[in-house]
Amino acid sequence: MKKMIIKGGNRLAGEVTIGGAKNSTVALIPAAILADTPVQFDTVPDILDVHNLMIILESMNVKSSFTHGVLDVDPTQIIEAELPSKAIKSLRASYYFMGALLGRFHRATVTFPGGDNIGPRPIDQHLKAFMALGATVSEDNGTVHLDAPQGLHGARIFMDMVSVGATINAILAAVRAEGTTVIENAAREPEIIDLATFLNNMGAQIRGAGTDVIRITGVQTMQSMNTHTIIADRIETGTYLSLAAAMGDGVMINNVIPEHIEAYTSKMIDMGVDLQIGIDRIYVPTVHDLKPTIVKTMPYPGFATDLQQPLTPLMSRAAGESRVVDTIYPKRVKHIPELQKMGMDISAQDGSILVRQSQQLRGADVKAAEIRAGASLMIAGLMAEGTTIIHNADHILRGYDRIVWKLNRLNADVAIEDED
């Protein structure tokens, strides 16, 4: 494991460029095995999740190479093989190989994935979708076995709850199924549109991505003709917006899709941050006075659950009490005791997170329990007086492209070291 060492208090200024969306990338890489040709992705974030997915690809004899943001994947010699459990358990998004392998081979065996520990995230909606498409499902000792010896067939799938993961897995399984599949109550996230764009450019027939009803007519083959450029990461964007408002003396954030984070930027504007929003960039000027706010996380296009923790340190600068209600993952509270160690007046009460104004944070030894908790500790460390050491910093590296290099270019003092 790694640790992140932050010497806090430096004012930040300059420019930062947002990388490709992690939540797109981790679906697109498994989707690549559905192609009958080599595939190329551009603006791929340099994060641990990408390297772990490449290890999983290698186990299936799928060659991949990653240089300067370009990822090449060649699935033409793919074989069925047991997937490496260590890589599978290190990231939850490995469960997209269930849908992709089922679509490609009509069967799959995948260890139940790991990833962030932010409360229960069952995969029952995924399995229900696979069964509707004609697969049998069995589970033993954390391993899921999927089998459709007669092949997959189009079906009507109604999601009992809006689920990004289940929507993506249903799409991956259905694109090469026989007939038409209709997914109702589908998630509408931009990352789902990005996946559908990639698949459609290879010959898939997906309509309605970005709405709550997606129609898929199965095709027999898919061939990649062009490089797919991954959309900008809206969660990375929101994280830099928060730290720029908290500690910045003028920060320009480039490669942004403002429409994807309107729920977030509107909250920041309500708090008193004078964001200057362009077509593909946002300038964050020096912030002097902040007002408290109330955030309620919702499925897209609402306020993203992944952005409630990165906003928390900025809330601690506001004059008054701010509140967060996370309707998606109400148990996403592991950052709270760690932020308390740094002197933040934050607590969880009756399903809400309360954040009160904290005059001065101080450096401390803290632990990142998951990616976005790590992001909130990182921002608090930049704000704090003294040195903050974030243990289990691999979680941050899983989700943030070249994070140390980007922060230090903004005048931060951040380093990554191996744990003793």
Per-residue pLDDT tens for 212-230?
Answer: 999 999 999 999 999 999 9
Which has the closest alpha carbon to 185: 128, 131, 230, 138? 128
Burial status of residue 221 (CB atoms within 10 A of its CB: 0-12, 13-18, 19 or more): exposed
285 labeled part of a ligand binding site: no
Neighbours of 370 (CB within 10 A): 22
122 labeled part of a ligand binding site: yes
- Yes or no: say if 362 and 343 are a contact pair by the CB < 8 Å rule: yes
Given 49, 74, 116, 233, the catalytic residue:
116
Is residue 117 scored above 60 in pLDDT? no
pLDDT given for residue 191 in this prediction: 98
Is residue 29 scored above 80 in pLDDT? yes
Is residue 118 scored above 50 in pLDDT? no
- Yes or no: say if 351 and 327 are a contact pair by the CB < 8 Å rule: no
pLDDT given for residue 392 in this prediction: 96
Q: Mean per-residue pLDDT for 84-110?
A: 86
Tokens 């830099």 found at: 240
The answer, yes or no, to whether the previous bond of 301 is cis (omega within 30 of 0) is yes
Per-residue confidence band for 93, with pLDDT thresholds at 50, 70 and 90: confident
Is residue 398 scored above 60 in pLDDT? yes
Is residue 122 scored above 90 in pLDDT? no
**In one letter, which amino acid is 287?**
V
Is residue 72 scored above 60 in pLDDT? yes
Q: Mean per-residue pLDDT for 397-401?
A: 94
CA distances (Å), origin 387, targets 7, 161, 390, 411, 417? 4, 43, 10, 15, 14
Tokens linked to 78:
């793919």
Tokens 């912030």 found at: 287
36 labeled part of a ligand binding site: no
Please give the share of the chain, as a percent, with pLDDT higher than 90.
89
Per-residue confidence band for 113, with pLDDT thresholds at 50, 70 and 90: low
- Yes or no: say if 250 and 283 are a contact pair by the CB < 8 Å rule: yes
Q: How far apart are CA 367 and CA 373, in angstroms?
A: 9
Who has greater pLDDT, 131 or 331?
A: 131
Q: What is the pLDDT of residues 329-380, one digit of tens each?
A: 898 999 999 999 999 999 998 889 999 999 899 999 999 999 999 999 999 9
- Yes or no: say if 39 and 75 are a contact pair by the CB < 8 Å rule: yes
Q: Mean per-residue pLDDT for 108-126?
A: 69
Neighbours of 138 (CB within 10 A): 10
Count of all residues that appear for the chain in the document: 420
Q: Where do the domains of the chain lie, and which CATH numbers do they carry?
A: 2-19+232-418 (3.65.10.10), 22-229 (3.65.10.10)
pLDDT given for residue 389 in this prediction: 98
- Sheet with 2-7, side-by-side order of all strands: 365-367, 387-391, 2-7, 414-418
123 labeled part of a ligand binding site: yes
Q: Where are the alpha helices (DSSP H) in 282-352?
A: 308-315, 335-341
367 labeled part of a ligand binding site: no
150 labeled part of a ligand binding site: no
Q: Which residues contact 294 (CB under 8 A, 6 or more apart)?
A: 322, 323, 324, 325
pLDDT given for residue 382 in this prediction: 98
Is residue 85 scored above 80 in pLDDT? no
- Sheet with 205-207, side-by-side order of all strands: 156-158, 180-184, 213-217, 205-207
CA distances (Å), origin 259, targets 46, 253, 279? 24, 15, 9
Respond yes or no: is residue 233 known to be catalytic.
no
230 labeled part of a ligand binding site: no
Tokens linked to 68:
């300067």
Tokens 């320009």 found at: 252
Least confident of 114-128, 135-149, 304-318: 114-128
Who has greater pLDDT, 384 or 123?
A: 384
Per-residue confidence band for 121, with pLDDT thresholds at 50, 70 and 90: low
Torsion region of 351: left, alpha or beta (phi above 0 gives left; psi -120 to 50 gives alpha): left
Per-residue confidence band for 94, with pLDDT thresholds at 50, 70 and 90: confident
CA distances (Å), origin 255, targets 139, 371, 408? 42, 21, 19
Query: Running DSSP on this structure, what letter comes out for residue 331?
Result: T
124 labeled part of a ligand binding site: yes
- Mean pLDDT (the chain, rounded): 95
Please give the share of the chain, as a percent, with pLDDT higher than 70.
97
What are the start-end ranges of the E strands in 218-372? Answer: 228-229, 248-254, 276-277, 281-284, 294-297, 321-326, 345-349, 352-356, 365-367
Query: Running DSSP on this structure, what letter comes out for residue 376?
Result: H
Tokens linked to 357:
């104004």
Coil, helix or strand at residue 194 = helix
Q: How far apart are CA 305 and CA 325, in angstroms?
A: 9
Q: What are phi and psi of 262, to 5 degrees?
A: -65, -35
Is residue 75 scored above 60 in pLDDT? yes
Q: Mean per-residue pLDDT for 204-218?
A: 98
